[in-house]
Structure 1
Amino acid sequence: MKLHGYPKEGPQDAGASAELAEVTLEASPQELRDIAAFFLSAADEMDRMGAAYDHLHLGDAMPEFRTSPHLTVFRWVSENDGC
């Protein structure tokens, strides 16, 4: 697993992503439950789609997060996956 992110201010194009060492979520218990459900759904979709899976956005899957900072799940491909 790797974590990537963009600054709140400044360039946010695909080339500006930086690998992060830590992420802190400031959220309510219900938001954490909703995010956990999103992660489980993303994992199921990743299993279902296999190598065709690219990414999912929390805000697209759950409208209540559309105005929140963007949370995106990408498929991690290890050297052993053969993808």
Structure 2
Amino acid sequence: MPGIGEGPAKVISVSLPEGTVHALREMVGNRGVSALVAAAVEEHLRNRATASYLDEYEREHGAFSDGERRTALDVWSAAEQREAGWRAAG
């Protein structure tokens, strides 16, 4: 079974509010809607999987310390800044 973001595309039906569809099409055009929705869903699924993993880790090993949380936040912030730079570069 393919992982998140892997494998051939499958056609599904998704209902969205009319205003959301209009905003999507304004932003990316008709042909870009599927790619944007796929990327958003993949990001959501990865975030949920990460949160689940972190919850499981804390159940098994105890809560993260404040220092560990600060370090993780620093690493995450740096990664987001790099990603923003990549997106801006096109």
Structure 2 length-normalised TM: 0.30
Q: Which has the higher contact order (CA 8 A, sep 6+)?
A: 2
Looking at secondary structure, tell me which structure has more strand per residue: 1
Looking at secondary structure, tell me which structure has more helix per residue: 2
Structure 1 length-normalised TM: 0.32
